[in-house]
A and B are shown apart, each in its own frame.
Chain A
């Protein structure tokens, strides 16, 4: 039976998590800064991280669609399973949609996104102040939606680990060690 994530899935999960935990506070911090070379630098770094998340997210979705993840514990109530799946699907959608909205916003604001200062991404929308401002709202709202979902996601994982004491967290964090399947200590 399929009771574990592939090493690739685990690695992608944590790399993307780490990048998001860097880009999110960076985004919150940088947009308040007065214009300076540092601000321009931070914006570029934020965009580079975002493009990286976007590309890894595509790889991850491809991987996910070809490798079934382990099932949730049979003992979980149906509504909890539903909630867990809903949060997962939304998070998958957001790790694509958020960088995409940032990329489009950048184009609309007249600043092309050039990954690591080397690879230019095409401008899919033309420069337009109103569209740029609207996309900024979209980017921001999606991020706060993600923040809420990440809190639910992390909260759920911790609840499984410390309250239900099952393998849910350990299967994504292999160093926690695996408990014997189906047997509660």
Chain B
């Protein structure tokens, strides 16, 4: 009996550091992007994505995240462009419906600032990316927010005539705001 108690105490110890947040709240999360068209920043977003996240704000370095984005859920701001970017030259969503990101490691830069390094797969191509982020706890929820630049042509997004970066810039800002609730005990 004592042993069992000890064992359960040991098991419970990691929780003593803090709370692990794992439950994605999609309604309070967003993945948006800002592309530059003819030097004009234009915002869009992905409406559907799933994420498996486990982050303890007391030890973010041990956190893990993998995110899958339903590319067909893109909202570019116009129906015509939504249709266009589903096509072969852009995301080719018929053959590559999902973009995914899996974290490899999380580091701390300055206090309260972190950086996740991981593998991004879009359109069958996988590249390492880095994204800085911050953590904010409020009302039992954890908000993970950050932004990073992504070069669309590295993933062949917008090839052919759209490869002209004087019209649509190569660099696209990706902004994420992920809200997770604590794991149910």
Identify the A interface with B (CB < 8 A): 35-37, 40-41, 43-44, 109-114, 117-118, 120, 127
Closest-by-CB residue of A relative to B83 is A35
Nearest-CB distance from B165 to chain A (Å)?
A: 10
- Tell me whether B39 and A117 are in contact (CB under 8 A): yes
Q: Which stretch in B40-48, B103-111, B115-123 binds the other chain? A: B40-48
Which residues of B lie under 8 Å from residue A37 when comparing CB positions?
A: 161-162, 164, 167-168
Which residues of A lie under 8 Å from residue B78 when comparing CB positions?
A: 109-110
Interface residue range, chain B: 10 to 19
Partner of B40, one of A35, A44, A127: A44
Majority-rule SS of B interface residues? mixed
Task: List CB contacts (< 8 Å) of B44-95 with chain A.
Answer: 77-78, 80-81, 84
Task: List CB contacts (< 8 Å) of B126-183 with chain A.
Answer: 161-162, 164, 167-168
3 nearest interchain CB pairs? A117-B39, A44-B38, A37-B167
Partner of B77, one of A35, A110, A120: A110
- Tell me whether A114 and B42 are in contact (CB under 8 A): no
The CA-CA distance from A109 to B37 in the complex, in Å, is 14
Nearest-CB distance from A7 to chain B (Å)?
A: 35
Q: Which residue, of A40, A44, A114, has the highest number of chain B Cβ atoms within 10 A?
A: A40
Q: Given A36-B161, A110-B43, A41–B38 Cβ distance below 8 Å?
A: yes
The CA-CA distance from A120 to B161 in the complex, in Å, is 26
- Tell me whether A40 and B37 are in contact (CB under 8 A): yes
The CA-CA distance from A178 to B80 in the complex, in Å, is 54
The CA-CA distance from A111 to B162 in the complex, in Å, is 18
Nearest-CB distance from A136 to chain B (Å)?
A: 12
- Tell me whether B168 and A40 are in contact (CB under 8 A): yes
- Tell me whether B40 and A114 are in contact (CB under 8 A): yes
